[in-house]
Amino acid sequence: MRASAMPPAAPMSVDIRTLESTDPPPDARVRSPAGMVWARFRVNRGGMVALVFLVALAALAIAAPLVADLVGHGPNDLYRTTMVDIYGLPKGPNASFWFGADSAGRDLFVRVIYGARVSLLVGVVATAIAVVIGVVLGLIAGYRGGALDTLFSRMSDVVLAMPLLLFAIGISSACSTTPQGCVAGTLTPGVNLVIVIIAIFSWPAMFRIVRATTLSMRESTFIEASRAIGMRERNIMFREVLPNLLSPVVVYAALLIPQSILFEAYLSFLGLGVPDSTPSWGGMLDQASQLFTVAWWLMVFPGIFLLATILAFNVVADGLRDAFDPRASE
Amino acid sequence: MIDGTRTRPLLEVQSLTKRFPLTRGVIFAHSRGAVHAVEDVTFTVARGRTLGIVGESGSGKSTTARMIARLIDPTSGTIAVDGTDITRLVGADLRTLRQQVQMVFQDAYGSLNPRQTAGQIVGAPLRVHHVPGDRRAHVAGLLERVGLNPEHAARYPHEFSGGQRQRIGIARALALSPTLMILDEPVSALDVSVQAHVLNLLTDLQDEHGITYVVISHDLGVIRHLADRVAVIYLGRIVELADAAAITAPRHPYTAALVSAAPAQPGTGTGTTRQRIVLTGDAPSAITLPTGCAFHARCPKARLISGDPHRVPERCRSERPPLGPDADGRQLACWYPLESGDDLIGAAQAMAIPVSGAQA
């Protein structure tokens, strides 16, 4: 029979549950990890202000046609007689044109609101594409290792080694010479092209973070436990590892969005972004660069919006990082 | 051997060896020797019985556990569960084996995915193996069986105490009704007050379901509580394999040192006057194994035989003692097993004197 050199410390008949209930969980309410992150983010005043600003901006961008209706000026309506003087210079803010007009006599306020559409669209969609590519390749490279790891890592190194702006300008101008675009018509000039260019240059950073985190997580006991119950490797990657990447991915994505917005502004500033008929903050600043000595509003309003948006995304990203890992802020 | 029946043992491990190659160089990798984690380990465990594996850190006990659970592939040797060699299983066959062999980990918190609820964690094996039936009810039953409140299935691992987390780990291992459970230091990370409860749970589960256990521990108290037989492992090799009752009267000098290092059990006699056999030095490197008996450099008995605290008999240094049965049927790998009256404490103290000064 069983060796009983060591007598059991507690009689067998005692209900073990009552004995161990002396150590209750710290919080009686059931809280998911996402719920705790939100609870910690909510108390961050700066983060909440920035978040409210971004939500308001997004609402304005979505409701841009409504705003145009209310103001009574479309984004491409020309008011050459009323808002441009006889020397061809635009007129400044007044009761009906809150932000003044540009040199073509278009309402700058309406164009700034429409510009938010382009900026947010480019920022969010380009980041989403970069996140998907970076996460999938990073997971596979980090978890599988071997030849795939080498292949993807070298790919990302190559992209990171490219002179970013130079290549972006090259691709952009090569694809913008004809309305058909390039790559057999899949890349037409305009917002799509800008998004693709930004995504191509943004994914390696996400890839590196995901790969490094996966690499360290692969050795953790709960991954070993998943293997011990017979889970397939693919399911371990996507069901066990991926949810644990949420915090670095979300935080880094929140930082990638303002970078993408800025990148779009660079391209549009250089005249290689979206066409002039689509209002964009970068494009507006490009115009302003020739006239700002006489028409300050051309630079100030799009500039403030660009600055505030970038700042807000960075503050939110910062707040998210602290909310995901409370120890990091100390 | 223990119960006298002639049925085949559930687990048969034969000449199991694991070497982790050491390589240098990134592009042109070349071998620089190997870590000899487990060397030629052979044992069997009868159905419904418990084998304890004891040894100090780095002795290869966890590697052995992981090889049996097929988390690490052995370098050579065979592991047979229910008569089937499992060392070469892949794909669907390996997944079938997973239902039979389950593992409980030392780091209970680390073994639970922090982003999943207790219910999801315990239900995962059922999901993976498409176990039919009401999964929610099944999970509730498992939680209840291990002494947890089924209503806590919606909670996350961080909301449980250490003992409760290990219970979740046990419930997960239990989900597929395994025939063999590998317990890798199942209680060493827990508070002493909680250890006994978890150990009692494990013995109850074994009695109910007839599960065979292999329990890995550095704690002889845990081993004595759970195990029927004990294998003592030193530098990857079994040095002594005996009934749990007999291990308190060890014959291998290393086992004697381990037993003397364990805290005194109440009621075992000598109490405060008990003295430890203090071994000199660390365990030798597993990369370049010592010649002869792996223990000879630290062995007090060898000094008793040579009569000089700084010399060991030639045989201990040059010839490796094979693991073989002694007169009482215990397996032993020692040229000069302990006899009654051997003063190992004195010999160990004599060994320590010129190396690190006077030691009490």
Per-residue pLDDT tens listing for chain B (360 residues): 444 445 789 999 999 999 988 877 666 667 778 888 999 999 999 999 999 999 888 888 999 999 999 999 999 999 999 988 999 888 888 988 889 999 999 999 999 998 899 999 999 999 999 999 899 999 999 999 999 999 999 998 988 999 999 999 999 999 999 999 999 999 988 888 889 999 999 999 999 999 999 999 988 888 888 999 999 999 999 999 999 888 888 888 898 888 887 765 554 444 444 577 878 777 778 888 888 888 888 888 888 888 787 788 888 888 888 888 887 778 889 898 888 777 788 788 877 765 444 444
Q: How far apart are CA A46 and CA A48, in angstroms?
A: 5
User: Which of A 199-228 lie inside 8 A of B, CB atoms?
Assistant: 220-222, 224-228
Residue of B nearest to A26 (CA): B159
Closest C-alpha among A286, A291, A223 to residue A85? A291
Helix/strand/coil for B166: helix
Cα separation, A149 vs A140, in Å, equals 7
Q: Which one of B69, B95, B224 has the shortest CB-CB distance to A3?
A: B224
Q: Do B245 and A2 make contact, defined as CB atoms within 8 angstroms? A: no
Query: Tokens 């209750």 correspond to what residue?
Result: A24
Is 0.90 topped by the overall pTM? no
B197 interaction partners in chain A (CB closer than 8 Å): 10, 16, 19-20
- Closest Cα to residue B34, out of B25, B17, B22, B18? B22
pLDDT at A326: 60
3-state secondary structure of A10: coil
Residue B151 token pair? 């209503």
**How crowded is the C-beta side of A32, counted as CA atoms within 13 Å?**
8
Query: Which residues 49-68 of chain B have a CB within 8 Å of chain A?
Result: 50, 66
Instruction: Confirm or reject contact between B211 and chain A (CB < 8 A).
Output: no
Rounded to whole angstroms, the Cα distance separating B124 from A239 reads 11
Q: Strand B212-217 to strand B229-234: parallel, antiparallel, or no bridges (unpaired)?
A: unpaired
Residues 6 or more apart in contact with residue B4 via CB below 8 angstroms: none
At A159, phi and psi to the nearest 5? -65, -40
CB contacts < 8 A, A to B, total: 120
Report which of A226, A246, A230 is spatially closest to residue B111, judged by C-alpha positions: A226
Mark yes or no for CB contact B155/A30 under 8 Å. yes
**A39 vs B23: which has the higher pLDDT:** A39
Is beta strand B84-85 parallel, antiparallel or unpaired with respect to B237-243? Answer: unpaired
pLDDT digits (tens, 9 = 90+) for A199-258: 999 999 999 999 999 999 998 999 999 999 999 989 999 999 998 898 889 989 999 999
Element (H, E) at B338: none
Name, in order, each residue with C-beta under 8 angstroms of B48's C-beta and a sequence gap of 6 or more. B10, B206, B210, B211, B212
Whether residue B217 contacts residue B52, with contact meaning beta carbons closer than 8 Å, is answered with yes
The alpha-carbon gap from A19 to the nearest alpha carbon of chain B, in Å, equals 9
- The arrangement of secondary structure in A45-81+96-324, i.e. its CATH architecture, is Orthogonal Bundle (1.10)
Q: Tell me: ipTM over 0.95.
A: no
